[in-house]
Amino acid sequence: MATDKKLFAAFSRRDLLKSLAGVPILGAVWAAGIDTTKKSKLEKDFWLEKLNIKASAPPASGPMSGDPLRIGLIGFGIRGEQLMRALGFATQEWMESMAKSAQEDPKDKRLEDFLAQENLNVKLTAICDIFDVRAEKALRSFNTEANPCKRYENYLDLIHSGEVDAVIIATPDHWHAPMAQAAIEAGVHAYVEKPMTHTIEETYRLREAVRNHPGSILAVGHQHRQTLSFLTAQDAIAKNTLGHVSLVVTNTNRNDDNGAWQYEIHPEASPETIDWNAFLGTAPQVPFNAEHFFRWRKWWAYGSGLSGDLLTHDYDRVNCVLKMGIPKYVTASGGIYTHRDGRNVPDVMQVNMDFPDFSTGSSQEDGKEKGMTLVYSATLGNQFDRGTVLMGHDASMELGNILTIYADPRSTKYKDLIKEGRIDPQVPIYQYDPTAEGVDAVTSATAKYFANKGLLWTYRDGKRVDSTFLHIREWLSCIRNGGNPSCGIDEGFEEAITAHMAGLSYKIGRKIEWDPVAERIISLPGEDLDAILLENSVV
Amino acid sequence: MTQASPLTSTQTGVLVLLRLLIGWHFLYEGVIKLYSPGWTAKGYLLSATYLESFFHWLASESMISTIDTLNIAALLFVGAALILGFKTQLASLIGVGLLLLYYFAHPPFPGYPLGPAEGSYWIINKNLIEAAALLVVFLFPTSVSFGLERFFAKRTLSSQTH
């Protein structure tokens, strides 16, 4: 007690102040922190409630249980190999090169991701490739005791072998529709790469075949339908967040030989190792040409140029959000400006797709707004990333894996909020990042910086997922559990017709018109549109 | 003890001020993160431009939630300790450690990407300066003059005199 008394005696009021003065400072800073976070949470909740956009990832496809599905592959080229890995089959060569690459760079997770991929419960029973080297490469890796796999010289033999339930078609464009149609008519499910068809006529025939064989499931290889943000984007449109969208811009920018379809020509390619007539099919009969075989995307005879090859991706991505269907008018222009190497498809192309009757909704008086143009702009001589933007009267939406919405400074809908200073048109009013926890209403410049660098958006449930894998899985699930693929015949029909209209406009130099009632592309008397589309003279 | 101090009271006062300012900064950063449930250092770590493999490891799935919690706890501890004047030397060292981690994840070395920054920096940035200031706080403890430690120091002093 005595010590205590002395202690307090030596401890003045001034000492007490100097000992404890930090406490109120601590309290003040702490309270200010709580207040700031509360205010920003209120602001965020206000926005989330006001915009009411439902953030959701596409539903997971059904179980892969039951007997293994027997799959046949037609075309074991670059895309064929990728599709096989999505299906669960990688070549020994790829595994070895990836193991080596992972050893050199621990950040390279391609092999690890492949090995961690879900087993889709399929057998690869048949393979058809008309280049011996590729067919043998496939057999060497895939024909095992656990998975007997046979080579077929002809795709019809494969389809009718009775050894396959479904086929994956990854051939040049001019073979997509004939093979898919043969499969569907034989009761075999088909996954066909984009574009769905090479000619207008084939597009109708394939749709007819699928309609007549409802038991065969057709999926078109637009794997970006699995993009996590598209359902959220659909909901934002449905809630009229953007107001009337008058313009959508989407692009392709590539600047390397691979991106310009200058693929490697295999040294063993020869008339002895390649079934040249099988490659040509209905294409103009020309003598064996290894460049045509490996770089077929460069000629209208086998490929479809930027409009079929790459516009289709962007068109389908927008169609998947807006469901605007086939454009009323298409105007295209461009040329061969960056790779003058004997190709006849353009490498710079601008396509305007007009939808004069389409509207995403309006915030202004009735009848003031109607109509939209989708602009596809592409070059194979520059790779500046321009992004896809949906431009509405009230807001703009950047559509990628991360979805970002900015209010327009002149918006009608957000006019008062902009005036009150609650909206800064420079700062997104909404951002959906499927990899982050939850949704951000107001995001910082730093977060946007990280997002734009692509650092946060390749994960799903903490794992990197390949969208091609998800797309194939969805098709397999429809086969096993019923349901319709997200990119089936109707979506494929719209994609193919739009691509063909763009190709036609580029070639004829005229605005091409679609008759939605007759479901026909309007042609001049005596004009054979497919002949124009396939015209293959070198420019 | 205080009489033995070679510093003038103004000098001590400025050192206290420095300690309080840094504590204030740390505490506020910690509180904001504590009350923002979606906050994570993942983006900052993944975008590291130096010692990438170390920072990527910190950002990995198995580590990140621990790292986030530790970071918040450390910010709060350093902030509270510097403001209250308690364990300030330990807090200063932890603070220096944190600041050096932030510094080396995005160092303003010549030729390195600058990332989001509000100013222009060459080798030296505010993280490094704040770390140096914390070294001063470490080497010139002031919590006996101003802070909870005064309370304990006085007690020791009074028990020693008897």
ipTM of the modeled complex:
0.90
Can you tell me whether residue B60 is helix, strand or coil?
Answer: coil
Instruction: For A3, name the nearest residue in chain B, comparing CA atoms only.
Output: B159
pLDDT band at A279 (very low <50, low <70, confident <90, very high): very high
The pLDDT assigned to A230 comes to 80
Task: Assess B62–A contact: CB distance below 8 Å, yes or no.
Answer: no
A37–B35 CB contact, under 8 Å:
yes
Q: At CB < 8 A and 24+ separation, what contacts does A12-21 make?
A: A15/B150, A15/B151, A15/B154, A18/B145, A18/B146, A18/B147, A18/B150, A19/B85, A19/B147, A19/B148, A19/B150, A19/B151, A20/B148, A20/B151, A21/B146
Of A153-162, A370-379, B108-117, minimum mean pLDDT range:
B108-117
Is the model more confident about B41 or about A506? A506
CB A82 within 8 A of CB A110: no
The tens digit of pLDDT for each residue in A193-206 reads 999 999 999 999 99
The pLDDT assigned to A369 comes to 96
Interface probe with A: pick from B22, B29, B47, most Cβ of A within 10 Å: B47
CB A432 within 8 A of CB A439: yes
How many other β-carbons are positioned within 10 Å of the β-carbon of residue A15?
15
The tens digit of pLDDT for each residue in A410-428 reads 999 999 999 998 888 888 8
Task: Assess B157–A contact: CB distance below 8 Å, yes or no.
Answer: yes
B24–A29 CB contact, under 8 Å:
yes
The pLDDT assigned to A267 comes to 97
The pLDDT assigned to A402 comes to 79
Q: Which of B147, B159, B162 sits opposite A19 (nearest CB)?
A: B147
B84–A26 CB contact, under 8 Å:
yes
Please state the rounded mean pLDDT for residues A157-185.
98
Please state the rounded mean pLDDT for residues A382-401.
91
Can you tell me whether residue A393 is helix, strand or coil?
Answer: coil
B148–A437 CB contact, under 8 Å:
no
The pLDDT assigned to A455 comes to 38
Which chain B residues are Cβ-neighbours of A30 within 8 angstroms? 27, 31
**Whether the predicted pLDDT of B99 surpasses 50:** yes
The pLDDT assigned to A453 comes to 42
Please state the rounded mean pLDDT for residues A267-283.
97
Please report how the helices B9-34 and A22-51 are oriented relative to each other, as an axis angle in degrees rounded to 10. Answer: 30
Which amino acid, A88? Answer: G
**Whether the predicted pLDDT of A31 surpasses 80:** yes
Q: What percent of chain A has pLDDT over 70?
A: 91
CA–CA distance, A103 with A109 (Å, rounded to integer): 10
**Whether the predicted pLDDT of A225 surpasses 90:** no
Which chain A residues are Cβ-neighbours of B158 within 8 angstroms? 3, 6-7, 9-11
CB A392 within 8 A of CB A377: no
Which amino acid, B155? Answer: R
pLDDT band at B161 (very low <50, low <70, confident <90, very high): low
**Model-level pTM?**
0.82
A450–B84 CB contact, under 8 Å:
no
The pLDDT assigned to A7 comes to 53
Mean pLDDT of chain A: 90
Please state the rounded mean pLDDT for residues A241-270.
95
Is the model more confident about A439 or about A346? A346
Task: Assess A521–B contact: CB distance below 8 Å, yes or no.
Answer: no
Q: What percent of chain B has pLDDT over 70?
A: 91
In sequence order, the β-bridge partners of residue A378 are A252, A349
Task: Assess B8–A contact: CB distance below 8 Å, yes or no.
Answer: no
Please state the rounded mean pLDDT for residues A483-488.
95
**Whether the predicted pLDDT of A441 surpasses 50:** no
**Whether the predicted pLDDT of A115 surpasses 50:** yes
The pLDDT assigned to A452 comes to 44
The tens digit of pLDDT for each residue in A319-344 reads 999 999 999 999 999 999 999 999 99
The pLDDT assigned to A388 comes to 92
B43–A440 CB contact, under 8 Å:
no
Q: What is the CA radius of gyration of chain B?
A: 18
B147–A37 CB contact, under 8 Å:
no
The pLDDT assigned to A190 comes to 98
**Whether the predicted pLDDT of A434 surpasses 80:** no
Instruction: For A456, name the nearest residue in chain B, comparing CA atoms only.
Output: B43
Q: Which of B27, B38, B154 sits opposite A29 (nearest CB)?
A: B27
CB A200 within 8 A of CB A500: yes
pLDDT band at A436 (very low <50, low <70, confident <90, very high): low
B47–A450 CB contact, under 8 Å:
yes
CA–CA distance, A214 with A229 (Å, rounded to integer): 30
- Whole-Å CA distances, B117 to A66, A430, B121: 56, 23, 9
The tens digit of pLDDT for each residue in A526-538 reads 999 999 999 998 7
Task: Assess A449–B contact: CB distance below 8 Å, yes or no.
Answer: yes
Instruction: For A36, name the nearest residue in chain B, comparing CA atoms only.
Output: B32
Report the sign of the C-alpha dihedral through residues B46, B48, B51, B55, in that order: negative
pLDDT band at A8 (very low <50, low <70, confident <90, very high): low
**Whether the predicted pLDDT of A438 surpasses 50:** no
Of A156-165, A454-463, B106-115, B145-154, minimum mean pLDDT range:
A454-463
